[in-house]
C-alpha cells in the first residue's frame, strides 16, 4: 500500500478519477478480504449487491451524479433549514435542563439520523434500528473485524436492504414529497434514469452514509470547542453571525477532518510526484494529512478562522468525487453549531480527555462517545 499525504499529490489523484479508481479502491478497503462472501450473503438474503453510487467511476459516476444533484441544490437546502433547526432545538430541549449530555449520542447522531428519516419519510423505523444498521455499514471498514464479524454484518445489512427495496418500490409506485421521490423523478435529456439498483443504493446513502459522516463531523467540532478555549471563544462569538460561523466550521473541519482517508487503485502505470506506481497499486489518500500540509496552510495546527485559502481544504474532497451533499452538510453543520452556541454555553468535557476513545475505522475519525457539561441558556439568552 502507498500512503499519499501531500496536498499536491492528493490533488493530482482527485483530478484523475480514471487512472486513480475510487471504485476499485472502495472495494479494496471494504470487508478486508471477505467481500466475495459478503456479496454472496447479500445476493442470497438481501435482494442483491448494490454498489455504492458515491464510489463508482466515470462515465457511470458522471451520469449518476448529474441526476442526483437535482435533489441537492442550494435552494432546496436553504428551504430545509427551518425544519432542521426545529429538529436540533427539540433535541437540545431534551437535555438542556440537565446541563450535561453526550455530544454524540444525545445530539450529533440523533439529529443526523432524524433528518435522514424525515427526508425519506420512513416513520415506521426507529432510531435504534438505524443506529444498528449504520454501525453494521461502518464496521465493513473496521480494522479489527474477523471473517465471522463480516458475515454477521452482512446479515444485518440484508435486513436494511430488504427494507429499502420495499421503500423504493413504494415510492416508484406512488411518489411523495421527499428527497427519494425527487431522485426517482430526476431526469435529463441525454441521460438514462437511475436504475432500480442505483435507487436502492441511493436510499441507503441517504439513510446511512450521510448520518455517519455528519455525526462524526459535528462531534469533532464539539470536541474542539470543549477542549480549546481560543476556539470556544470564536465559536460563541459567531453565534449570531452565520458568515463567521461558516468560517469557524470550515477551519474546524480542516483541523479535525472527519473522513481521514480513502482508498484508490491505479488502473495503469503512472507517476505520482516522483514515484512510479504500477497498475493495480493500492493507495490510501490521507485527507487529514493534506489538510495539515504546511506547504499550503501556514501553521497548520493553529486554528485560524480567517484563513484566506481555506477553500483549499480537502475536507469534502475535490474533482469528480467532490462530496455530492456538500450543500446539505454545510447547512446542517451551520444550524447545529449556531443553535449549540446560542443554547449551550461553556461546553467542557465531562470525562478526562485521555478517556476519549475512537472507533477502529480506517476512514472516519469517529468517537465512541463525547460526554459534555455546559451552562444552559434560556430562550432569551440568559443563563439559568
How many whole angstroms separate alpha carbon 8 and alpha carbon 275?
13
Nearest to 322 by CA among 2, 15, 7, 5: 15
- Quote the radius of gyration of the chain (alpha carbons, Å): 21
How many whole angstroms separate alpha carbon 334 and alpha carbon 88?
11
Residue ranges of alpha helices (H) inside 56-146 are: 60-68, 74-95, 109-120, 127-139
Which grid cell is 229? 478555549
SS3 category, 277: strand
Query: What is the structure's pLDDT at 382?
Result: 46
- Beta-sheet strand order (sheet of 261-266): 2-4, 282-286, 261-266, 20-21
Q: Which domains does the chain have, with CATH numbers?
A: 31-256+326-373 (1.10.630.10)
Contact 286, 273 (CB under 8 A): no
pTM: 0.92
Residue 142: Cβ within 10 Å count: 19
Query: What is the structure's pLDDT at 186?
Result: 87
Query: What is the structure's pLDDT at 52?
Result: 87
Question: Which parts of the chain have pLDDT scores under 50?
Answer: 382-384
CA 133 from centre of chain: 15
Amino acid at each position: 500500500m502507498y500512503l499519499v499525504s501531500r496536498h499536491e499529490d492528493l490533488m493530482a489523484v482527485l483530478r484523475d478519477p480514471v487512472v486513480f479508481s475510487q471504485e476499485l479502491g472502495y472495494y479494496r478497503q471494504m470487508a478486508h478480504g471477505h467481500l466475495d462472501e459478503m456479496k454472496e450473503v447479500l445476493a442470497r438474503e438481501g435482494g442483491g449487491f448494490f454498489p455504492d453510487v458515491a464510489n463508482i467511476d466515470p462515465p457511470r459516476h458522471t451520469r449518476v451524479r448529474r441526476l442526483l444533484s437535482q435533489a441537492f441544490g442550494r435552494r432546496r437546502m436553504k428551504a430545509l433549514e427551518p425544519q432542521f433547526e426545529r429538529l436540533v432545538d427539540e433535541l437540545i430541549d431534551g437535555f438542556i435542563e440537565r446541563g450535561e449530555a453526550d455530544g454524540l449520542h444525545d445530539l450529533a447522531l440523533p439529529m443526523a439520523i432524524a433528518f435522514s428519516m424525515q427526508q425519506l419519510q420512513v416513520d415506521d423505523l426507529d432510531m435504534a434500528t438505524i443506529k444498528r444498521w449504520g454501525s453494521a455499514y461502518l464496521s465493513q471498514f473496521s480494522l479489527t473485524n474477523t471473517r465471522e464479524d463480516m458475515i454477521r454484518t452482512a446479515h444485518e445489512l440484508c435486513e436494511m436492504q430488504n427494507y429499502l427495496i420495499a421503500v423504493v418500490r413504494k415510492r416508484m409506485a406512488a411518489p411523495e414529497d421527499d428527497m427519494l421521490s425527487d431522485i426517482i423523478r430526476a431526469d435529463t435529456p441525454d441521460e438514462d434514469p437511475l436504475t432500480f439498483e442505483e435507487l436502492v443504493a441511493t436510499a441507503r446513502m441517504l439513510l446511512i452514509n450521510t448520518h455517519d459522516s455528519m455525526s462524526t463531523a459535528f462531534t469533532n467540532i464539539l470536541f474542539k470547542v470543549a477542549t480549546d478555549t481560543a476556539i470556544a471563544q470564536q465559536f460563541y462569538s459567531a453565534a449570531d453571525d452565520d458568515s463567521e460561523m461558516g468560517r469557524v466550521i470550515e477551519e474546524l473541519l480542516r483541523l479535525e477532518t472527519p473522513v481521514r482517508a480513502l482508498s484508490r487503485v491505479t488502473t495503469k502505470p503512472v507517476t505520482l510526484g516522483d514515484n512510479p506506481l504500477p497498475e493495480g497499486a493500492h493507495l490510501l489518500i490521507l485527507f487529514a494529512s493534506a489538510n495539515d500540509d504546511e506547504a499550503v496552510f501556514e501553521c497548520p495546527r493553529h486554528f485560524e478562522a480567517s484563513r484566506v485559502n481555506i477553500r483549499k481544504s480537502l475536507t469534502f474532497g475535490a474533482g469528480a468525487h467532490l462530496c455530492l451533499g456538500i450543500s446539505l452538510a454545510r447547512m446542517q453543520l451551520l444550524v447545529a453549531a449556531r443553535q449549540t452556541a446560542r443554547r449551550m454555553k461553556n461546553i467542557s468535557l465531562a470525562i478526562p480527555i485521555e478517556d476519549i476513545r475512537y472507533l477502529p475505522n480506517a476512514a472516519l475519525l469517529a468517537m465512541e462517545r463525547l460526554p459534555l457539561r455546559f451552562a444552559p441558556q434560556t430562550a432569551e439568552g440568559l443563563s439559568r
